[in-house]
Structure 1
């Protein structure tokens, strides 16, 4: 774990850009002798911290509390009073009240496997819609210029990303390789801790994959969780942008956004496009 100097504001802005959860710890009030004044701030993640609210055991206790709150997985605020006596191993004799703000940027975690035409249309749209996007592919050249808020990751084998994926994420398998698609889907269903697993492809591909997954020992209840074809069926068309809009609309529906406006077979392409354009303003 590393402590970094510099501006807490710059650190917070970079966490927002990366879509990384963090805690903003602020000294709300002080009494007696204290190492820092009210208003001092620091930014804390699971592995790092930036700026300082006084150092020593006080800061150690703040880091511990902040990381415990991060581990809970919820955005929340909490005020904690810390006396600077024996428990804090500091001789100031005063006390501080610290505000902990757990900040989880974006509206949800989305992991996109693949950087083909559909993914390249979809990923900027998801970034504009404030999803926390991780984009994984085994072709470095296709990830060379990702949108600023997107975490792009080149891996020779995209399955290597699985151990570090966040629980409850939306998983989208959009690769150029059917064998890689299958290996990803099999591994994701075998360790199911996601909100949804979507696979690009036709109904014929879906049936072939489901038959093969059953033969390879994936329980029927987990196979039923695979969404293929992926995306909102109300969006017509097979062009990359049409498929991307269908996928984005489905994500918005599950995230509980404008679900009433999105739901319904009568909704046509133009209505969905206007809805998504409005959402990115």
Structure 2
């Protein structure tokens, strides 16, 4: 998606300046290496917004009007520019030549290919609300349901997949995927959650429901899945914040929970623990971060 958008941007703007944070020290809105592109009447990307970005955009457009191809800036992120990050950034501004454009498109393609997959198993109220959030996230989101009518209600810019056997979609998903189980049927929820857990390589497995539903699922796994451990399962999902049960609120909390797992470095959890001292790996969210990183 981003690659196609950038390609369209390049096609409609013959003169473009690439802005890159070539070096960052201290606190900064974005990391070193972050780039954006500026045309006389358009933008693609961001280096973090705020006064820094406004100032650099003005400089890029000034370069275009003066036919300047190269400019380097060193900017303190302090009161001098009305920003209080406290760091300093080196900014490289270059006329986007054909080779720069090609490299940028290749990077966008590589970034898209590497996006983690998020599978929403159920297109009910919460599933559709989650799709609305994930369409704006750096993930590839797949909304799956057996019911064509429910899928049709989603207007989110995500993949919508009609599937009569969603357990196969789970089995065929790439390693490091996130699975959020929220179908219209508890028995189907149990089947799909068990298949996701059995993979052993999921970044996140969550199932909508209560502590009682989790207990029943645990009992079901003991009876029908050879005692499959449910330690890695998140259920209830999004339970760390508000108790509001409106679909949009639940979806906001779950989306935050999943994105935290997909984008955060795992907490240090390898230090020896005493016999009575709980390990950080006892927390399912921490454990799933380690699974995603291949550490356990």
TM-score (ref. length: structure 2) = 0.50
Does the CA contact (< 8 Å) of 1:115 and 1:143 recur in 2? yes
Deviation at 1:109, TM superposition (A): 1.7
Deviation at 1:219, TM superposition (A): 4.8
Does the CA contact (< 8 Å) of 1:214 and 1:223 recur in 2? no
For residues 180 and 152 of structure 1, do their structure 2 counterparts lie closer, same or farther at Cα, with a shift above 3 Å needed? same
Q: Which residue of 1 aligns with 2:135?
A: 127
What is the DSSP-based 3-state SS (H/G/I as helix, E as strand, rest coil) of the residue aligned with 2:135? helix
What is the DSSP-based 3-state SS (H/G/I as helix, E as strand, rest coil) of the residue aligned with 1:133? strand
1:188 matched to 2:179? The reply is: no
Matches within 5 A, 1:1-12: 12=3
List alignment gaps of at least 5 residues for structure 1.
1-9, 17-97, 260-281
Does the CA contact (< 8 Å) of 1:140 and 1:154 recur in 2? yes
Q: Residue by residue, what CA displacement relative to the aligned partner does 1:17-52 show, whole Å, maximum 9, x if unpaired?
A: xxxxxxxxxxxxxxxxxxxxxxxxxxxxxxxxxxxx
Does the CA contact (< 8 Å) of 1:113 and 1:174 recur in 2? yes
Residue 175 of structure 2, aligned match among 167, 177, 186: 167
Q: Which residue of 2 aligns with 1:179?
A: 187
List alignment gaps of at least 5 residues for structure 2.
8-101, 267-296
What is the DSSP-based 3-state SS (H/G/I as helix, E as strand, rest coil) of the residue aligned with 1:227? coil
Q: Which residue of 1 aligns with 2:247?
A: 240
Distance across 2 between alignment mates of 1:159 and 1:258: 29
Q: Which residue of 1 aligns with 2:93?
A: none
Distance across 1 between alignment mates of 2:178 and 2:257: 11
Distance across 1 between alignment mates of 2:2 and 2:237: 36
Does the CA contact (< 8 Å) of 1:127 and 1:149 recur in 2? yes
Does the CA contact (< 8 Å) of 1:199 and 1:229 recur in 2? yes
Count the aligned residue pairs: 169
Deviation at 1:251, TM superposition (A): 1.4
Q: Which residue of 1 aligns with 2:205?
A: 197
Distance across 2 between alignment mates of 1:194 and 1:248: 16
Q: Which residue of 2 aligns with 1:152?
A: 160
Q: Which residue of 2 aligns with 1:213?
A: 221
1:253 matched to 2:260? The reply is: yes
Matches within 5 A, 1:28-47: none
Q: Which residue of 2 aligns with 1:13?
A: 4
Q: Residue by residue, what CA displacement relative to the aligned partner does 1:114-157 show, whole Å, maximum 9, x if unpaired?
A: 01111111111111123210111000122226446411110122
What is the DSSP-based 3-state SS (H/G/I as helix, E as strand, rest coil) of the residue aligned with 2:205? strand
TM-score (ref. length: structure 1) = 0.53
Q: Which residue of 2 aligns with 1:277?
A: none
